[in-house]
């Protein structure tokens, strides 16, 4: 199976290109962004050596679906999706923080809690909580937005304001939008028999207005549990069946890799890669409620170039 791991396009009016961990973002006329969700996969802030077939298509299509489903809450950057792996949208000035919202104690928050931490990003966590336990109210635990190759760092609301990363007025709006988006995502997930456990949002500014940018409610940016088995598994203290990229992290950890210096990524055999791809398709179908329609991958690069070039002629 073909996977897209690198791009090197030169679109008409192109003024910049940024290669992120997973996405390649081309700036056109300093006003539009052509965001290509590649098939690269990252974990522990490390890009893994093999691409995952269809992953970019799934992420793009899930994000587009949720951007459309939340546009009444906050305006977003998306204008069009000329290719299954491509979103074209408005260029915004991104805020230097990511807004992470957690409804349950799990993942990195649980790992910190288990080691004795009782305050995350300035938010106090009560004693006596168990893994995957629901918080009384969702909490916001922001991180700094790191440059490529660097780790995002936890940061508190107070520190964000103290450093002047975001103004107090704008940060209040970011928190308001974050909670409203999480509530909407929770409602949509419930209709699919899922629980939206935690997620992250990125925002930007354009013409003095706040926009939601990047992806939303994808398995790369979010964690989901299955609602029908949550309580029974929680009561038994067993691991939750979940829809997220966590299964990739768990496979890496089982094989001695957590992104630390000196550690080596375990071999990604064709079977491992195919298994991750199938798991992502399961994620797509459960999260979107739709069957996944595999795009033609015989020549992904040419397909994307043709579709984007045709679209840019119309704007």
pLDDT over 90 at 120, yes or no: yes
- The pTM of the full predicted model, rounded to 2 decimals, is 0.90
Total tally of structural domains belonging to the chain: 1
Mean pLDDT across the chain: 94
| Confidence (pLDDT) at 45 | 84
Binned at pLDDT 50, 70 and 90, residue 246 comes out as: confident
Strands 78-83 and 97-104 turn out to be unpaired
CATH of the domain at 189: 3.30.470.20
227 assigned to some structural domain: yes
209 assigned to some structural domain: yes
- Cβ(280)–Cβ(52) under 8 Å? yes
Q: Give the residue-averaged pLDDT of 223-231.
A: 95
253 assigned to some structural domain: no
In terms of residue numbers, what domain contains 218?
Answer: 94-243
How many other C-beta atoms lie within 10 A of the C-beta of residue 302?
Answer: 9
Q: Give the residue-averaged pLDDT of 79-94.
A: 98
Binned at pLDDT 50, 70 and 90, residue 247 comes out as: confident
pLDDT over 80 at 149, yes or no: no
150 assigned to some structural domain: yes
152 assigned to some structural domain: yes
290 assigned to some structural domain: no
103 assigned to some structural domain: yes
- Percentage of residues in the chain having pLDDT higher than 90: 90
75 assigned to some structural domain: no
């Amino acid at each position: 199976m073909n996977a897209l791991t690198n791009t090197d396009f030169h679109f008409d009016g192109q003024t910049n290109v940024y290669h992120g961990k997973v996405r390649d973002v081309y700036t056109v006329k300093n006003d539009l962004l052509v965001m290509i969700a590649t098939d690269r996969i990252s974990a522990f802030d490390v890009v893994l050596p093999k691409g995952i077939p269809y992953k970019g298509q799934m992420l793009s299509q899930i994000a587009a679906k949720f951007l459309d489903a939340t546009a009444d809450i906050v305006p977003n950057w998306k204008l069009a999706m000329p290719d299954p792996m491509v979103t074209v949208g408005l260029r915004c000035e991104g805020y230097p923080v990511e807004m992470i919202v957690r409804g349950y104690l799990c993942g990195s928050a649980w790992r910190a809690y288990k080691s004795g931490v009782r305050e995350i990003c300035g938010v106090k966590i009560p004693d006596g909580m168990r893994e995957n336990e629901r918080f009384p109210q969702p909490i916001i635990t922001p991180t700094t937005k790191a440059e490529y190759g660097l780790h995002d760092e936890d940061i508190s609301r107070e520190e964000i304001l103290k450093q002047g990363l975001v103004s107090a007025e704008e940060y209040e709006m970011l928190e308001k939008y974050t909670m409203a988006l999480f509530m909407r995502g929770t409602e949509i997930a419930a209709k699919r028999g899922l629980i939206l456990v935690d997620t992250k949002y990125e925002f930007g500014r354009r013409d003095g207005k706040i926009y939601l940018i990047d992806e939303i409610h994808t398995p790369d940016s979010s964690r989901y549990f299955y609602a029908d088995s949550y309580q029974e598994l929680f009561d038994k203290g067993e691991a939750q069946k979940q829809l997220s990229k966590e299964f990739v992290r768990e496979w890496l950890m089982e094989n001695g890799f957590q992104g630390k210096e000196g550690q080596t990524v375990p071999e990604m055999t064709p079977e491992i890669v195919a298994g991750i791809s199938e798991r992502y398709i399961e994620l797509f179908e459960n999260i979107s409620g739709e069957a996944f329609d595999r795009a033609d991958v015989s020549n992904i690069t040419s397909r994307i170039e043709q579709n984007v070039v045709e679209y840019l002629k119309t704007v």
